[in-house]
């Protein structure tokens, strides 16, 4: 947990210590574009399903298989990329594939082709985005929770812009394919910004991440033995059920269960993400003053009431009002838990990236389970199971 300290402060108070404003802007732009893609995809799923005649099971596969296979392909990235020039090459190469996968999705005319594009996107995002996050965590280890909150704020801004990008494209006479081409253009601009900035300096020789590649397996096994690391990885994946998994099914839920139009569903995703953005803005100063675990426990308690309320309240607009409260309440979950993963492995951010990817393999079963439960029992009952998430988080936080 990060607390204010007396004495000298790194860089300027309240700002992450990165080498220069342009480098910071480029790093945050990477996360912005990554979440811009995710926000657009969530809002576009009803249109994609209609265009390609997809079933609920195929929607679940599109959400889960890329996460599972992508996490598997991403596993060696954190340890293998290292630091300095090698990491920079990995980031830039990942960015090229990132752009190509978006263009591939735009021209996909079958479920299989779209699935391939989505699968390729995940490891590309791991190289382009996760390694950039790793550098951000290495820059100021004493303030990882506030830094993760700032990173998350940049991502939330991109996620909020995603549905509105889709709405603008549709209003201009385009389609979801046009939106994906626009995303590829945004990613290209972001890649140029990263390419024009020098990477952060490598760590001090002899640090854990600077060891030779032959010891990678040993470092991973040693990391798994660190106190708390498995707990934080499990809670991070569990929390995603009421974060990205819920967002991924939200537009379809609003269309199929609440009987909203596709435009209203896209607006609903926008409300969800705007509220999350507001929560992220609140979390940044809150984590400067308050212990992260205390914030997390309070938000989980609130979510245990708000999520059932979202499912039970009738009507589109009342649901969106409760959803906004839920989105604000859960804003601290990802930055606190991800920072705890990095904090459990000081000086080993690359290993943390690899372990987070490994945990993502198990987390990928979440959307797959929701998709197939919806196929069998209906989407309402499938989403009702996510109501257990806050209770499991509270139980996990009580463990010592």
* CA atoms of 307 and 311, how far apart (whole Å): 7
Percent residues over pLDDT 90 in the chain = 38
pLDDT digits (tens, 9 = 90+) for 299-318: 999 999 999 999 999 999 99
CB 71 within 8 A of CB 364: yes
pLDDT digits (tens, 9 = 90+) for 31-48: 999 989 988 998 898 899
- In this structure, is residue 142 part of a structural domain? yes
Give the residue carrying structure tokens 């390694």. 131
Contacts of 311 (CB under 8 A, 6+ apart): 380, 383, 384, 387
Q: Which of 1-10, 46-55, 108-117, 120-129 has the lowest mean pLDDT?
A: 1-10
Q: What angle separates helix 21-52 from helix 176-195, to the nearest 10 degrees? A: 160
Q: Domain residues for 255? A: 21-398
**How many domains does the chain fold into?**
1
Contacts of 71 (CB under 8 A, 6+ apart): 122, 126, 357, 358, 360, 361, 363, 364
Question: Rounded to whole angstroms, what are the CA distances from 322 to 310, 319, 329?
Answer: 5, 5, 11
How high is the pLDDT of residue 150? 83
- In this structure, is residue 137 part of a structural domain? yes
Q: Looking at the predicted structure, is the pLDDT value of residue 77 above 90?
A: no
pTM for this entry: 0.74
How high is the pLDDT of residue 171? 94
Q: Looking at the predicted structure, is the pLDDT value of residue 339 above 80?
A: yes
pLDDT digits (tens, 9 = 90+) for 243-292: 988 988 898 899 989 998 888 888 898 898 789 889 999 998 898 888 88
Q: List, as one string, the DSSP characters of 236-280.
A: HHHHGGGTHHHHHHHHHHHHHTS---HHHHHHHHHHHHHHHHHHH
How high is the pLDDT of residue 10? 36
Q: Looking at the predicted structure, is the pLDDT value of residue 204 above 60?
A: no
- In this structure, is residue 15 part of a structural domain? no
How high is the pLDDT of residue 101? 95
Neighbours of 1 (CB within 10 A): 15
Assigned token pair, 161: 């812009």
- Please report, for the domain that includes residue 282, its CATH number: 1.20.1250.20
- In this structure, is residue 51 part of a structural domain? yes
- In this structure, is residue 9 part of a structural domain? no
* CA atoms of 338 and 360, how far apart (whole Å): 12
- In this structure, is residue 1 part of a structural domain? no
Q: What is the mean pLDDT of residues 73-100?
A: 80
- In this structure, is residue 7 part of a structural domain? no
- In this structure, is residue 120 part of a structural domain? yes
């Amino acid at each position: 947990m990060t607390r204010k300290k007396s004495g000298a402060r790194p860089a300027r108070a309240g700002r992450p210590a990165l080498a220069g404003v342009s480098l910071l802007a480029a790093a945050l732009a990477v996360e912005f574009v990554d979440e811009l893609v995710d926000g657009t995809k969530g809002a576009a799923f009803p249109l994609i399903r209609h265009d390609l005649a997809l079933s609920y099971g195929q929607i679940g596969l599109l959400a889960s298989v890329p996460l599972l296979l992508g996490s598997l392909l991403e596993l060696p990235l954190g340890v293998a990329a290292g630091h300095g020039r090698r990491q920079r090459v990995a980031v830039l190469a990942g960015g090229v594939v990132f752009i190509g996968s978006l263009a591939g999705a735009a021209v996909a005319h079958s479920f299989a082709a779209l699935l391939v594009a989505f699968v390729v996107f995940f490891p590309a995002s791991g190289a382009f985005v996760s390694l950039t996050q790793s550098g951000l965590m290495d820059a100021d280890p004493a303030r990882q929770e506030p830094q993760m909150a700032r990173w998350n704020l940049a991502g939330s801004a991109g996620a909020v812009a995603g549905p509105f990008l889709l709405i603008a494209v549709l209003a201009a006479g385009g389609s979801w394919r046009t939106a994906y081409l626009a995303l590829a253009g945004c990613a290209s601009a972001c890649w140029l910004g990263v390419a024009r900035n020098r990477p952060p300096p490598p760590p001090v020789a002899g640090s854990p991440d600077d060891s030779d590649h032959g010891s990678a397996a040993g470092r991973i096994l040693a990391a798994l033995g660190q106190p708390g690391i498995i707990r934080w990885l499990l809670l991070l994946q569990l929390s995603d059920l009421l974060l990205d998994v819920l967002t991924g099914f939200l537009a379809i839920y609003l269309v199929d269960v609440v009987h909203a139009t596709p435009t209203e569903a896209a607006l609903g995703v926008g409300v969800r993400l705007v509220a999350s953005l507001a929560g992220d803005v609140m979390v940044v100063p809150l984590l400067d003053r308050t212990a992260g675990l205390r914030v997390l426990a309070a938000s989980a308690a609130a979510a245990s009431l708000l999520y059932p309320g979202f499912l039970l309240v009738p009507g589109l607009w009342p649901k969106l009002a409760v959803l906004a409260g839920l989105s604000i309440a859960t804003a601290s979950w990802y930055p606190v838990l991800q920072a705890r993963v990095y904090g459990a492995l000081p000086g080993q951010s690359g290993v943390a990236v690899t372990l987070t990817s490994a945990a993502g393999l198990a987390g990928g079963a979440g959307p797959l389970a929701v998709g197939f439960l919806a196929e069998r029992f209906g989407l309402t009952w499938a989403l009702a199971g996510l109501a257990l998430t806050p209770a499991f988080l509270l139980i996990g936080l009580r463990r010592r």
